[in-house]
Structure 1
Amino acid sequence: MDLRIFTEPQQGASYDTLLTVAKATEDLGFDAFFRSDHYLSMGSADGLPGPTDAWITLAGLARETRRIRLGTLMTAGTFRLPGVLAIQVAQVDQMSGGRVELGLGAGWFEEEHKAYGIPFPKEKFGRLEEQLAVVTGLWATETGKTFSYDGTYYQLTDSPALPKPAQSKVPVLIGGHGATRTPKLAARYADEFNMPFGSLEDTRKQFDRVRAAAAEAGRGQDDLVYSNALVVCVGRDDAEVARRAAAIGREPEELKANGLAGSPAEVVEKLGRYAELGSSRVYLQVLDLHDLDHLEVISSQVMSQLG
């Protein structure tokens, strides 16, 4: 099972902090560094020193790391026009030597749109579907040919469809809890389906829906990677777990119920239960980005036990 580090910088993190975490992610053997795409903190966090842009961050990290994959869970479709996003992701992929993955979602946090003057359209899912068609269509267009698209929300005319990513195919991630439209969209466009913050039972149901949709679309069972995103809080003993839980404003028992928390043995056991459902990759939501020892514990005592 791949373990990836997943950060929420809108809660309060500078680029330098993210760079430190990304370098630790690489040094400690994790598979990837991912980040959210938000411009406003949530809950009681003050968000200081202020938001960082997801793709500007990943561009910087692309030049400062060498091995780890880099990506978003999830880029908000409301933040960027699809043609511009295709250029941004392709450029960062080139800058990284072909290590970028694009998680793309519809966008949902209305308050951040109000805070920064970003339009928040009523119909977001239809826009997301067209954005996926445009981005993947631009990348797939043969060099020297043009791409046109006439949709309800987006129209492109004779685009040169440049630049191209370094990878022949940038992996596209789609995720969510939606029971009908989300599985169909994943079956059509996704290389990976991600279940965010879902219980074992909810994960089983959603993976089954996506598998059924993929089969209906003529795709094989192994055509998609299935993954989870879960908050993580690991400690060598109960006191360390409690300290880490308190640092992020959570209770240990609640974290054990809704995430990956407790001793390394407890976390390995729960990861195994997700693996039994077909999950081969887990994004560990790390909320205290200054606790690098937390990453070391996960690397040496959790990841080391996984096949």
Structure 2
Amino acid sequence: MPAYSPFSPYLTFSREEWKALRASVPQTLDEEDLEKLRGINEKISLEEVSDFYLPLSRLLNLLVAQSQDTYRATRLFLGDISPQVPFLIGVSGSVAVGKSTTARLLQALLSRWPHHPRVELVTTDGFLYPNRVLEERGLMHRKGFPESYNRRSLIRFLSDLKSGRPEVRAPVYSHLTYDILPDKQKVVRQPDIVIVEGLNILQSLNIDGEARPTLFASDFLDFSIYVDAEAKDIANWYVDRFQVLRRTAFRDPRSYFRRYADLTEEEATETARGIWREINEVNLVENVLPTKNRARLILEKGPDHSIRRVKLRKL
């Protein structure tokens, strides 16, 4: 049985307890699939997929099916012929914690279930203001903080999805050029499920000088996941990732971070730790971590980047 506390809104599951909830769900990924889905410097195994992600995909499949049944019943009652709207899943967590890998794994697993094969993945990075706007507003050093996002555009995108619009478009962000791609958009055409991944998807705060919004991105989500770990572990993963990028993507002449490619390993470690302390850790503590307990489910990671516990919000 999962750990129960009357003072916590969550049930806490050990690996063995959560693994048992997989039931008879078959493993639909192989090593080749997993290699394409892994994030930089992540060592996720098929065993971890089986123990944690397959039970989670089963839970989500049940919830999607329930949502589809409810929609059909309501549509029948109203005599409505409008199209079914997608089930929205939000995935949040710190920079370098592995939320992108979680989102990609869920997309791959959920698309293999019957009745909802069309699963789209959208990142909130696309809703960052372009660099020219951030520079005009003096916000380049605050990229990733709430004020660096065009939240009205994000809300409009989610609202259009939940309104059943036949075609919805999202901006696309390039991690290579560190900017929005002005001539590219992601087109979403009435999928069964949309996974929205990003730092800010669970945030519900207003920015100084702005009127308090009446709608938040999280208002549109049917289910939400927070990928959690100790800050000191995430800092180490961030440094490790920076070192890998220094030897790979940063060497591309088009890379915004080309200047870091020629650093020594020691210089790169010092630079990465400085960026983490001054920007990413501040954002984590002030804006991202406070949203953790708004999630329906929390994946807790240990120092080796593997999941060790799952917390599921009580009904």
TM-score by length of 1: 0.32
Higher relative CO (Cα under 8 Å, sequence separation at least 6) belongs to 2
